[in-house]
Structure 1
Amino acid sequence: MNPHDYPAILGVGPNLRVGERLPCDVYDEEGRLLLRRGQRISSERQLRRLLHGGRVQQGARSQARVPATQGRFAHPGGPAVRRGYPVPEGFSPCERLHACAQALQRTHDRIRAGERDFLPRLRQVAERLRRFIDLDADAALGMAHLSRAYPEQVLHPLRQAIVADVVARASGFSEACRNSLIGAALSADIGMLELRAALDRQATGLSQAQRRALTEHPERSAQLLREAGLDDPDWLRAVMEHHERLDGSGYPHGVRAEAICEVSGLVMLADVYVAMVTPRAHRPARTSKEVLRKLFTEADQRYPARYAQQIVRELGIYPPGTVVGLETGEVALVTRRAGKRTQPWVYLLQRADGRRQLRAVERNLTEEGVEIRRSYRPEDIKVPIPENTAWGYSDMPPSS
């Protein structure tokens, strides 16, 4: 191959060889990660893809961190680089989600103990989670869909906060609104922590006392936040209204249509989406494709049409973290949203003969012309799903 064929990789291309480690992160034309710095080039095919479609950031060849960039070639999280947040060496989506979950669980413990000084801790969780989403939104979405390591009363608010914030950014929400949104998503159910734990294990219908507590929990959550010193009106209102519906069928007050604020409408949609894609003791989970279709068809009746359309557009029918079956008979994990492509990026999990894929293989389905035939619930797949490598990050700690 002629070195002049490789202008996109800014002088790195002619020196690349199969088996060698990349000296920098390489991205495609839309700023999505192709291969991370330090990973080995595994095949001639992968090398050709890097050489002909890869991009690097100016000055990134010797950087241990991804520098802030004003150009179009950014970290796959996109807004992270434009905000000037460097992606730390050794960044681990799995560890980031676990850190948020542990901190939220400790906050819940303080609330259960009757302490009213939990608000600073809750704000710290919100900031930590927002930083995670800014660094890599696709990895945050993927981990939110996949994680089963904590109780649902911890995972549900984290999931709905991630989904809501991804849509909020695309909808042009201000920084202040994003803060209110994430805070509301994390705290909407703090008025029913014990009930939530019981309902997650319960396969029977609700008792009258449980139904009454469920209906009252938005007001109870808002009251706990006020007692803790929260004076953010958007945050409080979203907590109060996250179970309302446009047609007046929601609770606690049957608020209708335009009376429901924008932040509330987005938390509402994220809450419904996350609840439906998560298995419960009394029912299995639905696939993301099924849930997004339902939200879209009920838009303008029960849910705000603007955000229903945006959640479908931003997540795609196969969001990161979705396990899919390909027309080739292979099973793969969706890792990156499709963007302008017709198909998302996937990480191969299982070969067509049913055997586990032992070597990491990332696939550009649009480039290969391969179609997705179905989606699976993660619990239906027995193949281990990698937590970091699927998104291009190492499972090894950073070198000292």
Structure 2
Amino acid sequence: MIRTRAAETDIGIGIPLDRDVYNEKGVLLLRKGYIVQTQTQLTTLIKQGLYFLTKDTSDKSGHVAPKTDELLSFVLVDEAYAALVSLYSCTSANDLPSRILKICDFLNLAVKKDADMALGGILLQKNAKYSIIHQIHCALLCEIILKRLGHTDQERSTVIAAALTMNIGMLGLQDFLFFQHKQPSGDQRKGILNHPYRGVEILRHMGVTDQLWLDAVLQHHELLDGSGYPRGLRADDICRAARLLAIADVYGAKIFPRSYRPPLPANTAARQIFLKEREYIFDSELVDIFVKELGIYHPGCFVRLTNGEIGIITRRGGKIHLPIVHSVVGANGMPLPEPKLRVASSADFTVKELLDTQEGNFNINIYRLWQHDKRLATRET
């Protein structure tokens, strides 16, 4: 095979790739059909180094198309995002169930390969539509917890499908509210309260017959004390899938920024759910597992360390309060030439504070960040 480096003019923004794209080591980064969404994303990828492989006429064996399981976790998440955007751009799609389950397969594999990279890629994603990226985030969170609970692939896929479609009844309204600086109007509030019913109606119309999928979408805003909506269900009347989805939904919403507010720090969001909301509105058993499994520092968060460096959480760590961090900015405020592993159990590298992700206004090479993490994960610097 002949390797040719891609130029920025070879890849169009918003246009599906006409061939697979690799890094300099021949690892598949982007599959044919993948859509680069923004100029920032394209510039970052080009700086990283992208290559096309073309068949050498002297190569008698022929080119074997790379398999999905060769993709890195953050690329699988990007593919899931692009697939969900494409699906929702055609609301009359009659193959929605099969296409949603295909996206579930992408996310299942992303978590299997590297859950922390998948989660980190979500928070480091810029310019994504909130209505889409939020549902994918919730789906990843649910997949991680359900795997921890020992659920089968099929059982998990049903819940993940519900997460990916939980707001199908208000996608346009959700994106509008994301940029709105005032409280929802009366009509908007009605749309919010009605979206679980509307979502189930749309899903049934598009061929979804799985009752657990439909129940989880209908009930994902119900709360144990009866204060939720749309039906004000209590306790055992709420299916367990919807209880888990409610936790993921609230947590994900808290740590994502809006145009009118910064994100809530991940450790604050986790503590609010664990200490204030656990007993009355959420399933306490699921909250305990959620916080224990995910920790209080979400991968992809920017943090300031006690030594003054700015880093990014790349691993949740062995204990909920001791994440693995890679510093990307030195104490002098200058970007580091390569990410530096910092383990929070060392006094110099304790997390001092979480930073607004928007404060990290510099390009992050996700591939390089997590490749360093894999090489150095057992060493402390």
**Alignment TM-score, normalising by the size of structure 2:** 0.76
| Aligned counterparts of 2:329 and 2:372: Cα–Cα separation in 1 | 20
Cα distance per residue 1:300-353 (max 9 Å; x no partner): 211111111112111111121111111111111110111258622111111111
Q: 1:172: which partner in 2? A: 150
Partner SS for 1:282 = coil
Q: 1:213 Cα deviation (Å)?
A: 1.1
Structure 2 contact 270–296 (Cα < 8 Å) conserved: yes
Cα distance per residue 1:51-93 (max 9 Å; x no partner): xxxxxxxxxxxxxxxxxxxxxxxxxxxxxxxxxxx9955x433
Q: 1:384: which partner in 2? A: 363
> Which range moves more in the overlay, 190-199 or 240-249?
190-199
| Aligned counterparts of 1:206 and 1:341: Cα–Cα separation in 2 | 36
Cα distance per residue 1:274-298 (max 9 Å; x no partner): 1111111332210101100110121
- The amino acid that maps onto 2:170 is M
> Which range moves more in the overlay, 303-312 or 263-272?
303-312
In the alignment, structure 1 residue 330 sits paired with structure 2 residue 306: no
Cα distance per residue 1:124-145 (max 9 Å; x no partner): 1111111111111111111122
Partner SS for 1:346 = strand
In the alignment, structure 1 residue 356 sits paired with structure 2 residue 329: no
| Among 285, 291, 298, the residue aligned to 1:312 | 291
Correspondence list, 1:257-276, <5 A: 257-276=235-254
Q: 2:81: which partner in 1? A: 101
**Alignment TM-score, normalising by the size of structure 1:** 0.73
Structure 2 contact 138–245 (Cα < 8 Å) conserved: yes
> Which range moves more in the overlay, 377-386 or 232-241?
377-386
Q: 1:110: which partner in 2? A: 90
Partner SS for 2:142 = helix
Correspondence list, 1:52-63, <5 A: none
Structure 2 contact 303–311 (Cα < 8 Å) conserved: yes
Partner SS for 1:158 = helix
| Among 166, 185, 193, the residue aligned to 1:215 | 193
Partner SS for 1:136 = helix
Please list every run of 5 or more consecutive structure 1 residues that lacks an aligned counterpart in the other structure: 1-37, 39-85, 395-400
Q: 1:198: which partner in 2? A: 176
Q: 1:357 Cα deviation (Å)?
A: 0.8
| Aligned counterparts of 1:288 and 1:391: Cα–Cα separation in 2 | 20
| Among 220, 223, 235, the residue aligned to 1:242 | 220
| Aligned counterparts of 1:392 and 1:149: Cα–Cα separation in 2 | 24
Distance 1:231 1:284, change over 3 A: same
What percentage of aligned pairs have identical amino acids?
31
- The amino acid that maps onto 1:247 is D
In the alignment, structure 1 residue 145 sits paired with structure 2 residue 110: no
Distance 1:159 1:341, change over 3 A: closer
- The amino acid that maps onto 1:110 is C
Distance 1:87 1:100, change over 3 A: closer
- The amino acid that maps onto 1:145 is L
| Aligned counterparts of 1:202 and 1:342: Cα–Cα separation in 2 | 34
Cα distance per residue 1:210-257 (max 9 Å; x no partner): 111111111111111112221212111110010111111111000111
Q: 1:370 Cα deviation (Å)?
A: 3.0
Distance 1:340 1:287, change over 3 A: closer
Partner SS for 2:354 = strand
| Aligned counterparts of 1:173 and 1:103: Cα–Cα separation in 2 | 25
Partner SS for 2:282 = coil
| Among 322, 343, 351, the residue aligned to 1:343 | 322
Partner SS for 2:270 = helix
Structure 1 contact 93–388 (Cα < 8 Å) conserved: no
Structure 1 contact 87–135 (Cα < 8 Å) conserved: no
- The amino acid that maps onto 1:124 is K
Q: 1:169 Cα deviation (Å)?
A: 1.4
Structure 2 contact 339–372 (Cα < 8 Å) conserved: no
Cα distance per residue 1:141-174 (max 9 Å; x no partner): 1112221232111111001111121122112223
Distance 1:393 1:132, change over 3 A: farther
Structure 2 contact 328–338 (Cα < 8 Å) conserved: no
- The amino acid that maps onto 1:153 is S
Structure 2 contact 305–351 (Cα < 8 Å) conserved: yes
| Aligned counterparts of 1:353 and 1:269: Cα–Cα separation in 2 | 39
Structure 1 contact 350–383 (Cα < 8 Å) conserved: no
- The amino acid that maps onto 1:385 is I
Q: 1:384 Cα deviation (Å)?
A: 2.6
Q: 1:258 Cα deviation (Å)?
A: 1.6
Distance 1:313 1:116, change over 3 A: same
| Aligned counterparts of 2:352 and 2:372: Cα–Cα separation in 1 | 28
| Aligned counterparts of 1:99 and 1:190: Cα–Cα separation in 2 | 19
Cα distance per residue 1:13-68 (max 9 Å; x no partner): xxxxxxxxxxxxxxxxxxxxxxxxx8xxxxxxxxxxxxxxxxxxxxxxxxxxxxxx
| Aligned counterparts of 1:87 and 1:227: Cα–Cα separation in 2 | 31
Q: 1:390 Cα deviation (Å)?
A: 1.4
Q: 1:231: which partner in 2? A: 209
Q: 1:368 Cα deviation (Å)?
A: 7.0
Q: How many residues align?
A: 307
- The amino acid that maps onto 1:361 is K
Structure 2 contact 312–325 (Cα < 8 Å) conserved: yes
Q: 1:128: which partner in 2? A: 106
Q: 1:367 Cα deviation (Å)?
A: 5.8
